[in-house]
Amino acid sequence: MIALCVLVLFAVVTLAGPVLAAEQSAKGTPQEYCPVMGGKIDKNVYADYEGKRVYFCCTSCKQEFLKNPEKYIQKLEEEGVDIATTPK
């Protein structure tokens, strides 16, 4: 009985792995780089826009983003970045 349970658990884990990987790739990748200058993001520098939270490398890039947010949101989406949602 224990062997059967172990076998079933192994089968579920083995089959679920590719499904979970496919779901993650379908969602996109987390934001790691600034959409304005391309530098590594600082999680303390961000702007919330229409329910989305975009991170930047510096406050100057945040100010540039605020001039035309749609441009940078579109850029991130085209690159397959999974843009964070604004916390509630």
pLDDT per residue, tens digit, the chain (88 aa), is 665 444 444 444 444 444 444 444 446 899 999 999 999 999 999 999 999 999 999 999 999 999 999 999 999 999 999 999 999 8
CB 86 within 8 A of CB 53: yes
Q: How many Å separate Cα 27 from the centre of its chain?
A: 7
Q: What's the pLDDT at 3?
A: 52
Q: What's the pLDDT at 57?
A: 98
Q: What's the pLDDT at 9?
A: 43
Q: Could you tell me where the DSSP H helices lie in the chain?
A: 2-27, 59-67, 69-78
How far is the CA of 26 from the CAs of 29, 47, 54, 80, in angstroms?
Answer: 9, 25, 19, 9
Q: What's the pLDDT at 26?
A: 47
